[in-house]
Amino acid sequence: MKRYTECSQAELIALQDEWQTKFDHCKKLALKLDMSRGKPGPEQLDLSRELLRYDLADGMTESGVDARNYGGLEGLTETRAFFSEVLDIPAQNMIIGGNSSLNLMYDAVVRCLIFGTGGHTPWSKLPKVRFLCPSPGYDRHFAICEELGIEMIVVPMTSTGPDMDMVEKLVAEDDSIKGIWCVPLYSNPQGICYSDETVERLAAMRCAAPDFRIFWDNAYGVHHLAGETPLRNIFEAAGACGNSDRVYYFFSTSKITFPGAGVALVAASPANIAEISRHMTIQTIGHDKLNQLRTVRFLKNADGVREQMRRQAALIAPKFQLVLSHLEKELGGSGVAEWETPAGGYFVAVDTLDGCARETVALAAEAGVKLTSAGATFPYHKDPRDRNIRIAPTYPSLAELDKAMQIFCVCVKLAAVRRLLDGQK
């Protein structure tokens, strides 16, 4: 295929006619397809069906705690031991929360704003608080900052994680930079995995703010599609440099069992865990221990999680392959789109030609395909190059995805050819 960027005006006009005709045809089909939601499909949820009628007998745990009653803010011993094995984090360094890790992240930021951390000034008393936001990234991280008045600084992603030269420079010279959002394995939306070097540099870097925190959201830590990608243990790396207090680690079973009805946790250094507990104990008498018990008895151990994730991968890997094969077949070599091939996680991110993402998403909507809104993967919904689009392949069926991707590729090409012709005016 000839690269669109190398086409003459006459060739572009011919291409525009071709893709406009195809687009009009797509519109006539009046489809209603959705590739916007990072949700598991019903068949993935069925893998955890047993949880719906799980018999917890008398609700007593193996260690003799009555999970039906109040008590144990930090979570059940069995649940902490389970996550300790899955994540390779000491059990005493974690608190098992409720159903949502995002909730724990929000609370962590709010605590720092109201109370401060490590004995430092509460962030809300400072003239300015900034966070580094590796982008494209997770829109809900950015929404937390936006709502709480934290200024966001975009840091570009590379194939091994955030641009670390930029991160190191910024945190060293600006003490108003208090945090960074990281999704270290199979990042949302690009599926990028942080290299050992990236993790080590984050752990070791010199920060002007003594209360700088890494918000380590390992949401896709076990969501492998093609073998297990290793991730350097951030606590080990930070501990080796005397920076253990720098890390807040978040995880949940949302996309292992049931989103919104799983079990979440926060892990941190002993000093941070003590600080979090002091505030959390005012906030709640304890989280849902019955769900903790059910989850552990169902998943059992790290091997149980591996098995569950292998079953999930068997269901969703074909969906990823389908998305990628459409991209390759219909856009490969055209020069109008680029994408990463994720080895896990929940998304495929496509970069269109600069200035084409909004139009592509709007065209797709016109043709009945809902996509995540353009700009959503950047702070303040502003994609500086207007080119990133997040595709969520897990929820639709293979047949729906097939149609949706055909239409998506038509829209990418039509938006690109219009843009190129505009540029020639």
Ligand X SMILES: Cc1ncc(COP(=O)(O)O)c(C=O)c1O
Q: Would you tell me which residues interact with ligand X (CB under 6 A)?
A: 38, 100-102, 138, 183, 188, 217, 219, 252, 254, 259, 264
Nearer to ligand X, 261 or 336 (CB): 261
Q: How far is the CB of 12 from ligand X (least distance, A)?
A: 38
Q: How far is the CB of 260 from ligand X (least distance, A)?
A: 6
Core vs surface per residue 39-54: b (16+ CB within 10 A) or e:
bbbeebbebbeebeee
Residue type, 356: C
Q: How far is the CB of 254 from ligand X (least distance, A)?
A: 3
| Residue 255 token pair | 């996309």
Nearer to ligand X, 257 or 334 (CB): 257
Q: How far is the CB of 310 from ligand X (least distance, A)?
A: 21
Phi and psi at residue 367, to the nearest 5°: -95, 15
Nearer to ligand X, 38 or 161 (CB): 38
Rounded CA separation 350/414 (Å): 15
Rounded CA separation 371/248 (Å): 31
Nearer to ligand X, 38 or 286 (CB): 38
Q: How far is the CB of 4 from ligand X (least distance, A)?
A: 32
Q: How far is the CB of 252 from ligand X (least distance, A)?
A: 3
Nearer to ligand X, 35 or 411 (CB): 35
Nearer to ligand X, 112 or 219 (CB): 219
CB 402 within 8 A of CB 322: yes
Q: Who's near 8: CB < 8 A, 6+ residues apart?
A: none
The DSSP string of 174-227 is: -TTEEEEEE--SS-TTT-----HHHHHHHHH---SSTT-EEEEE-TTTT-BSSS
Give Cα separations from 381 to 103, 138, 182, 353, 372 (angstroms): 21, 11, 18, 18, 11
Nearer to ligand X, 22 or 255 (CB): 255
Rounded CA separation 234/267 (Å): 11
Taking residue 198's Cβ as centre, other Cβ atoms within 10 Å add up to 21
Q: How far is the CB of 357 from ligand X (least distance, A)?
A: 20
